Structure formats: C-alpha cells, structure tokens
Structure 1
Amino acid sequence: MKLNIDRHEQEVIETAINHWQKENLIDLETAQQLRTSYEVKGFDWRRLAQYSFWIALSCIVLAFLSLFIDKEILAMLETLYETPNIIISIICAALAAFFYYAGYYNKKKYPEKQLSNESLIVLGVFATATSIGYLGKIVDKVSGLYSLLFFCSILIYTILAIKLSSKTIWIFMLIALGIWFASETAYHSNWGFKFWGMNYPLRFTLFGAVLTAFAFSLHKQWKIIQPFQPLSYAIGILYLFISLWLLSIFGNYSDLDKWATVKQYHILYWGILSTLVSLLFAWYGLKKKDAIAREFGITFLLINLYTRFFEYLWDNVNRAIFFSLLALSFWLIGRKAEKIWSGSFLKK
C-alpha cells in the first residue's frame, strides 16, 4: 500500500531523496523504490471537511446575530419578550444536553467522523454558555452568585471534557476559568478596574503564570486530566504572554486618561520584563526541545521587539527610514530563519 501525501509533502520528500542520493547515502535503486512508495493525493478532503465545519459553525453564529437585525424576527422576538429568563435557560440547557449526547453517541458509533462530532460538542458548549448567561441575568451582579455561575460552568465543562474525552470542551473550560477569575476579582474590587492595586493585565499575568506552572509541574500527576496537559500548558503560556504584552503597553494603569499623559519610556520596565520572559521561554524551549515554549517564546519576543519599535520610532523617525528599517529587519529575520530551517532539514 502506497503512502498518500499532499504536494507540499512530496516536495519535501523529493528534496530529501535527492540529497541522500547526492551524498551517496542511498543508491539509485533505493531512490527509485522510495519514489514509488508514495503517491500524491488529488485533493485534501480532510482539510475541506475541517474548513466546511468551521464555516458551518460560523454561519450558525451569524444566523443567531442576524436575529437582532431582521425587523420581522425582532417583532416576533418582542412578542416573546415576556418569556422568563429561567425558561430560556432551561431550554438552552436541554439543547446542550441533546448536543452533548449526540456528540458522544456519534463519537462511539462513528469515531472516524471527528470533525462532525466535535462540531456537535461545540454547539453544546455554546448552548451551555447561553443557559448560564440567562441564569446570570436573574442573579444580581453585585452578589457573589454572579461569579459563582462562571465557576459552575468550569465544573460542568471539566466533567464533560473528562467524560467525553473532548479537548474542545477543555479549551472552553480554560476560557471559562479566565472569565471566572476576572469576574471574581472584579466583584471583590467592587467592579472596579483594580484589585489589590493590580489592573487586568497584571492580574492575568499572575493568572497565566500560575496556570503555566500548574500545567508544567502538577498537571501530569493527575491521571484523569493527563491527556489535556499540552492544552493547559499552551493556553497558560498564551494567557501569560498576552497579558505581559498588554502590560508592556499600558503598564499598571486602570485609567486611560492618566495613561495617555504618561510617556511610554516611563513604563519601559514592563516591556523589558515581557522581553526577558519571552527570551527565557525561547531559550528553555530550544534547550529542552519543548516546542510549545520555543514557539511562544520566539513569537512573543518578536512581537515585543516590534511593539517597542513602533512605540519609540513611529513619531520620532522619518516614515521612509522607518519602513526601510522595518523591511530590513524582516529580511534579516527571514534570511536567518531560512538558514536555520535549511540546516535542520539537512541534519534529518
């Protein structure tokens, strides 16, 4: 049976075979056998299926949003305005249960249909969020129950992710965890922008650091959630780096008017911290061959450097010089990346 590959993979394999043959690592006969051991597939149906399901889910969201634009539908909704929020919440909860069951049933009966099964589970996640959202409309925002609802969604998503072995639900659980953290700290600060002297970016920097540390050290010790460790690790780092990047721009200010009067170099230390953390993760990822730490570290190192580039040069350098320096920097990065890629490819 021949290996079924796409055209990009064919180019890589052909380059490798030609290199091995040129270096006398394989003879002509072996090279021919390798070339006849695979065939190029005519069309990537899996990718088409993936994009189709993404578009389908997007269309569902757009269809829902369009309800609030269409006049006739708005008129119909106005007649249902008196429907109690608790009834809508129960209906959405029932829909969520149906979608979860359908996704679980299809996953057992048709395990090869991964994308359609995950799409059903995503619809269940949206229905769950809507149900909890309508419960939130019943609860007074100034009470502690408001953030407790988000905590309940975390428990629901965690249980469902484990029972259904769904990484998709686990991702939404981690997102709900961040929302709960934001609402809980906001409640204890009387819904202000600062909690214990920290604005949202600084709070989420600590939140991301704790989540990353947990995923890195303790996550693997809990067998029941061990399969989700790479996701927790990646999203923890994402929380950390995005928060650090925002902190490097806005500092620990909660008032935009005050921030606008401050020169950017007054909060340069946050930018230095963000850059150092990016360097640390990139170094660790390269040394330990940790792909997640390496990719995030290098990516956010570049984002931080170019953010500082725009902050300090945009208003102080001629536009022609500015864009020339920008072009030169990207050309140097591209050349260096090409050299690294070529060297690592030849070593394989």
Structure 2
Amino acid sequence: MKLNVDRHEQETIKNAIDHWHQENLIDDNTARRLHASYEVKGFDWRRLAQYSFWIALSCIVLAFLSLFIDQQVLDLVSRLYQTPNIVISAFCAILATLFYYLGSYNKKRHPEKLFSNESLMVLGVFATATSIGYLGKIIEKENGAYSLLFFVSIVIYTLLALKLHSKTIWAFMLIALGIWFAMETAYHSNWGFKFWGMNYPLRFTLFGAMLTAFALFVQNKVNILRPFHQLSYITGVLYLFISLWLLSIFGNYDDLDKWAEVKQFHILYWGVLSTLVSLAFAWYGLKNKDVIAREFGITFLIINLYTRFFEYLWDNVNRAIFFSLLAMSFWIIGKKAEKIWSGTFLKK
C-alpha cells in the first residue's frame, strides 16, 4: 500500500531521497523503491472536511443570529422571555452534557473522524458558555460576579479538556482565561483602562509572558498537562507578541486623545523592547531548534520593523521614495529567503 501525500510533501520527500542518493547513503535500488512507495493524492479530502466543519459551525452561529431578524421568531422569543433564567441555564447545561457525551463517544468509536468529533465539542463549549451566561443573569453583576463566572468556566473547560482529551476545549479555556484576566483586572481598577499603572497591552504582555513561561517550564513536566503543552505555548506567545506590538504603537497610554498628541519617537523604547524580544525568540528558536519560537520571533521582528517604517517615514518621506524603499527591503528579504530555502546561504 502506497503512502498518500500532497504535492508539497511529495516535493520534500523527493528532495530528501535524491539527497540521500547523491550522498551515497542509499543505493540505486533503494532510491527507486522509496520513490515508488508514495503517490500524490488527487484531492485533499482532509482539508475539505476541515473547512466544511468550520463552515458548518459558522452557519450554525449565523442561523442563530438570523433567528432574531424574523418577526415571528421575535414574537416567540418575547413569549419565551418569561421563562426563568435558571430553566434556560439548566437546559443549556443538559445540552452541553449531551454534546460532550456524543463527542467523547464518537471519539472512542471513530477516532479517525477528527473534525466531526471536535465540532461536537465546540457545540458543547457554546452551550456551556450560554448556561454560565444565564447563570450570571441570576447572580447579577454585583461584586465582580461576571469575573467569577468566567473563572468557573475556566475550571469547567480545564476539567473537561483533561477528561475528554480535547485540545479544542483546552483552546477555549485559554481564550476564557484571557477574558477572565481582562475582566478581573478591570474590576479591581473600577472598570478603568489602567490597573497598577498598566494599560491593556502592557497587562497582556505580562500575561502572555507568564503563560509562555508556564507552558515551557511547568506544563511540559506534568504528565496530565503535557498533551496540551504546544497549544498553551502557541497561545502564550500569541498573547505576548500581539500585546507587545500594540504596546509599541500605543505605549502605556489609556487615553487615545493623549496618545494622539504624543510623537511616536517618545514611545520608541516600547518598539525597541518589542524588537529585542522578537530577536531573542528568533535566536532561541534557531539555537534550540524550536520551530514555534523561531517562526514567531522572525515574523514579529519583520512586523515590528515595518511598523516602525510606516510610523516614521509615511508622513516624512515622498511617496515614491517610500514605496521604493519598501520594495527594496522586500526584495532583499526575498533574496535572503531564497538563499536559505535553496541551502546556499547556510552552506556559506
């Protein structure tokens, strides 16, 4: 039985076999057998399944939103509005339990149906969020109750992710964790934009750094948490770099009017910090063969450099010169990337 690969994988495998053959690591007969052991699949059904389930989930959300456009449905909703919140919360909790059970049951019986199983988990997550939301209506918004409810959802999602071995639920837990952090810090600052002298980008820079450190130095050493290590690592780095990038643009200001009056070079140190962190991640990734650190470091290094490029040159340089410099910089990056891709740059 031949191995089915896509065109990109086929090119990589072919180049690897040819390289081994040229270096005399394998003989002619072995090279021919290896070349004959795989074939390019005609259509990427896995990608179609993935996109189809994404579209299906999106359509479910759109269908739910469309309900509130239809007048008959609005009349029905107005009649159901008298339904106690505790009843709706309990119903959604039962619905969530059903989705989780079906997802877990199908995962055990049909583990190959990855996307359909995870789609059921996503529906369970939505039902859980709705249940907790209506529970919040019962408790009301006093004493930071919403923040507490988000913390409850984090605990629920964490336990479910560990019990059902679902990375999808773990991903939603990490999103809920970020929302909880934002709400908790906002509550303790009387719903202002600053908490302990930090605006949201600076807060989430620290949050992302802590989540990344936890994923790297703690989570990877705990057996039950290890399967979710990479997802936590990627999410933490995303929180960190996006927040750093926003911090390099807006600084630690909590008022857009005050920020608009300040020259960008007055907050250049945030841009320098963002660039240095990107360089550090890129260096760490290259040295330790950490693909995630390398890719994020290089990507956000380029984003930071071009952000500064637009900030300092857009209003101060002739447009023709501006776009010429932009084209030249991308040409240089392209040439260097081409050399690295072909291997000639690394050999030198």
Aligned in 2, Cα 1:8/1:87: closer, same or farther, shift over 3 Å? same
**CA contact under 8 A between 2:339 and 2:345: conserved in structure 1?**
no
Aligned to 1:64: 64
TM-score calculated relative to the size of structure 2: 0.94
Aligned to 2:113: 113
User: C-alpha displacement at 1:253, in angstroms?
Assistant: 0.8
Paired letter, 1:94: I
- Of stretches 304-313 and 71-80 in structure 1, the one that deviates more from structure 2 is 71-80
Give unmatched runs, 5+ long, in structure 2. Answer: none
**2: CA distance, partners of 1:249 / 1:225:** 35
**1: CA distance, partners of 2:346 / 2:239:** 35
Query: 1:156-235 to 2 correspondence within 5 Å?
Result: 156-235=156-235
**CA contact under 8 A between 1:248 and 1:270: conserved in structure 2?**
yes
Aligned to 1:76: 76
Aligned to 1:54: 54
User: C-alpha displacement at 1:173, in angstroms?
Assistant: 0.7
**2: CA distance, partners of 1:74 / 1:66:** 10
Paired letter, 2:63: A
**2: CA distance, partners of 1:73 / 1:314:** 51
**2: CA distance, partners of 1:22 / 1:215:** 41
Post-superposition CA distance 1:14-48 (Å, at most 9, x none) = 34445555666655444432322222222221111
Aligned in 2, Cα 1:346/1:52: closer, same or farther, shift over 3 Å? farther
**CA contact under 8 A between 1:142 and 1:187: conserved in structure 2?**
no
Secondary structure of 2:143 counterpart: coil
**2: CA distance, partners of 1:326 / 1:119:** 43
User: C-alpha displacement at 1:186, in angstroms?
Assistant: 0.8
Aligned in 2, Cα 1:218/1:31: closer, same or farther, shift over 3 Å? closer
**CA contact under 8 A between 2:336 and 2:345: conserved in structure 1?**
no
Secondary structure of 1:223 counterpart: coil
TM-score calculated relative to the size of structure 1: 0.94
Aligned to 2:271: 271
Aligned in 2, Cα 1:80/1:223: closer, same or farther, shift over 3 Å? same
**CA contact under 8 A between 2:247 and 2:270: conserved in structure 1?**
yes
Post-superposition CA distance 1:209-265 (Å, at most 9, x none) = 111111111112322212111111111111111111111111111111111111111
**2: CA distance, partners of 1:147 / 1:26:** 61
- Of stretches 279-288 and 319-328 in structure 1, the one that deviates more from structure 2 is 319-328
Query: 1:1-348 to 2 correspondence within 5 Å?
Result: 1-19=1-19, 27-343=27-343
Query: How many positions carry a matched residue from both structures?
Result: 347
Post-superposition CA distance 1:107-158 (Å, at most 9, x none) = 1111111111001001101111111122223333341222110000010000
Identity over aligned residues, as a percent?
78
**1: CA distance, partners of 2:258 / 2:169:** 40
- Of stretches 59-68 and 77-86 in structure 1, the one that deviates more from structure 2 is 77-86
Paired letter, 2:75: A
Paired letter, 1:150: F
Paired letter, 2:220: K
**1: CA distance, partners of 2:33 / 2:113:** 34
